[in-house]
Structure 1
Amino acid sequence: METPRPPVAAALREAMDAAGVGVRELARRVHCDHAYVSRVLHARQQPSVDFLRMVDAELGTDLAPAPPQHEGRGDGGGVRAETEHLHATIAHLVELDGRYGGGPIAETAVHVWRAAQSRLDATAVDGPDGRAYLAAVAELAELAGWLLFDADRADEARRATLEAHMLARHARDTSMQRFALTNLSMQDLEVGRAGESLRIADELLEELHLPPRVALLARIRRGRALAGAGDEARALADLGRARADLGDSITTSDPAWTWWVDDNEVAGHQAEALLVLGDADGALERLQQCVRTVGTQRGEAFYRVQLVRAFAGARAWRECEEALLEVPPLLAQVASGRIRRRLRDALRQIRRDREAPGWVRDIAADVGGDLGIVTGHHYRSPGATS
Structure 2
Amino acid sequence: KATDFAEVFEKACKRKLDDIVLSPGKPVKVMLFPKAAGVEDAFRIVGKPAAFEYKYDGFRVMINKDDGGEIKIFTRRLDDVTRQFPDIVEFVKNNVNAKSFIIDCEAVGYDSKTKIYQAFQAISQRIRRKHHIERLVKELPIELVVFDIIFHDGNSLIGEEFGNRRELIEKIVRQEKFKITLADQIISEDAKEVETFYAKALEEGQEGLMAKSLSAPYKPGARIGHAVKLKPEDKDFDLVITGAEWGTGKRAGWLTSFDVSCLGKGGELLDMGKVSTGLKEKREEGLSFDEMTEMLKKLVLSEGGRKISVEPEIVVSVQYQNIQKSPTYSSGYALRFPRILRLRPDRGKGDIATLKEIESEAEK
The interval holding the TM-score normalised by the smaller chain is under 0.3
Larger relative helix fraction:
1
Larger relative strand fraction:
2
* TM-score when normalising by structure 2: 0.26
Larger Rg: 1
